[in-house]
Every structure is written in C-alpha cells, then in structure tokens.
C-alpha cells in the first residue's frame, strides 16, 4: 500500500489546451484526465496548471480520507 506522500508523487498526465468560452473569448484548460474532476480553467496556462495541481492534491487527499481507491496509472517518482 502506498503512503499519502507516494500517492501525491504519482506522475499523472497533465493536459493543457486553449478552449473557446461561450462568449467567444479563449481560456486555458488544464486537466489530469486520469483523475476524475481534476480540471481547471484560467486566463493563462500557468494559472490553470497551478489551479489543477491544487485540485489534484485535494482530490487525492479527500479520496484517501474517504477510503476511495486512488487511480495509480504509473509508479510514484
């Protein structure tokens, strides 16, 4: 069984893309497709990556606290 620290070091795939908003403006979307719910949108790619990384940590910690299995697509670094 992995420790909390090891779960947080799993190198999930990070996807960053530019997407149009309903008003025609563009924003940056960052996501960890291997972690359901780990998606963030912001004006800049860096902001979106920072936000989604915070979500990744919250999701993993919440799932561990609730006893929900955390996906482990590859070994921790």
Q: What CATH number is given to the structural domain containing 62?
A: 3.30.160
Q: What is the reported pTM?
A: 0.92
Pair 55, 30: CB distance under 8 Å: no
76, pLDDT greater than 90:
no
Q: What is the largest CA-CA distance in the chain?
A: 47
Using 50, 70 and 90 to split pLDDT, how confident is the model at 11?
A: very high
Pair 45, 27: CB distance under 8 Å: no
- Measured CA to CA, the distance from residue 7 to residue 3 in angstroms comes to 6
Note whether residue 20 is domain-resident.
yes
Note whether residue 77 is domain-resident.
no
Instruction: Please give the residue range of the domain that contains residue 11.
Output: 4-66
Interval 28-44 mean pLDDT: 97
Interval 51-58 mean pLDDT: 98
Interval 23-32 mean pLDDT: 97
Total number of domains in the chain: 1
Tell me the pLDDT of the chain averaged across its residues. 96
């Amino acid at each position: 069984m992995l420790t909390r620290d090891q779960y947080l070091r799993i190198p999930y795939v990070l996807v960053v893309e530019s997407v149009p908003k309903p008003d025609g403006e563009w924003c940056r979307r960052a996501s960890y497709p291997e972690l359901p719910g780990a998606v963030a949108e912001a004006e800049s790619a860096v902001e979106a990556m920072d936000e989604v990384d915070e979500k990744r940590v919250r999701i993993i910690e919440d799932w561990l606290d609730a006893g929900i299995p955390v996906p482990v697509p590859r070994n921790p670094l």
